[in-house]
Structure 1
Amino acid sequence: MKRLLFLIVVFLLSCSSTPERDKNVFENVSAKQAQTIMEDSSVVVLDVRTANEYNDGHIKDALNIDIKSENFMDEMQKLDKDTTYVMHCRSGGRSAMALEKVKDFGFKKIYHMDGGMLEWAENNLPIEK
């Protein structure tokens, strides 16, 4: 009986810790840290601002998926979950909300540029129009 109880407890503990979720990385970074991360050409910059904001100036090669659009969740589901992303918005608020929305989608690594494009610009980092 004790052995059976032990096996049940071990089984329940192993089920409560999902290895896939434990491997996921969601980390806040500064604009300078984000720039360093982006030196890896496999990293995708994910801009969750509106199209107008994006067109006013964006990080080179950034993918624009507006968090306010009705198809935001569908577009995020289409992304490669094994790719590393740097997510940002204007100041960090919308991208923090976007990150919360997609945390359970199975993404392996998303860095959140906490200060957004405002911090990027303050550091005189390159902006494309």
Structure 2
Amino acid sequence: VYHGAYIAEVVRAGINSIHRGQMEAALSQGFSFWGAMRHIILPQASRLVLPPLTNQAVNLIKNTSVLAMVAGGDLMYHADSWSSDNLYYGPAYVVIGLLYLLLCLPLATLTRRLERKAGVST
């Protein structure tokens, strides 16, 4: 729900960024509202919302710990617990950082490729 509101706002802003004349032109050519959205507005808006949607996806990954889904415990909680027991704070946080990097880097790389293909600059 938390990220859903942000994603909805990104999509809304992308659709609203398309000039009103595009919708008027589509309607004057006989498109229905949904046809105009599907064939005229959304293809243009998708290029604009790709970078912020990727940002939200990366934030979702960072805000949702992997171990919360797999093992039932929060990743940072386990790192803090282990590091306080063993007094090795540095290695614990480095491993956590590497895990988040392994999760976020492929998504960012994929999005960069999609942006280049779509001709979007960030």
| TM-score normalised by length of structure 2 | 0.24
Higher relative contact order (CA 8 A, sep 6+): 1
Structure with greater helix percent: 2
